[in-house]
């Protein structure tokens, strides 16, 4: 499967919200809504679990994507993701990457 790298470096192609939308998978929406509600202390409904990918200009996007500071920064700077930013690695991104080693690897691969 080809990667679909988000602004922060996460791979949208393996995100349950993206996969649920892509495959119209209601069971995955329900499971993900339950898991994310528990894990992130927010109440998500199955209909919230739909996304075309962070860098997409299409809708829908997962609700958090609209307010994600990293995504909004990339859009303002008109870069596909942080790997292409002149300010790589800013404090905001560094803080996020501490908890997302797979995102760090994706961005490093793109920077090479």
How far does Cα 98 stand from its chain's mean position? Answer: 16
Per-residue pLDDT of 62-74, as tens digits, reads: 988 888 999 999 9
Per-residue pLDDT of 45-98, as tens digits, reads: 999 999 999 888 888 999 888 889 999 999 999 999 999 999 999 999 999 999
The owner of tokens 């528990």 is 38
Is residue 23 within 8 A of residue 49, CB to CB? The reply is: no
What confidence tier does 41 reach under pLDDT thresholds 50, 70, 90? confident
pLDDT over threshold 80, residue 1: no
Share of the chain above pLDDT 70, in %: 99
């Amino acid at each position: 499967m080809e990667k679909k790298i988000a602004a922060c470096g996460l791979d949208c192609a393996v995100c349950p919200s993206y996969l649920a939308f892509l495959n119209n998978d209601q069971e995955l929406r329900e499971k993900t809504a339950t898991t994310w509600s528990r894990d992130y202390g927010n109440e998500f409904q199955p209909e919230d679990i739909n996304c075309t990918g962070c860098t997409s200009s299409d809708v829908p996007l997962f609700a958090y994507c609209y307010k994600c500071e990293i995504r909004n920064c990339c859009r303002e700077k008109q870069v596909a993701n942080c790997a292409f930013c002149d300010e790589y690695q800013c404090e905001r991104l560094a803080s996020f990457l501490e908890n997302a080693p797979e995102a760090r690897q994706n961005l490093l691969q793109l920077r090479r």
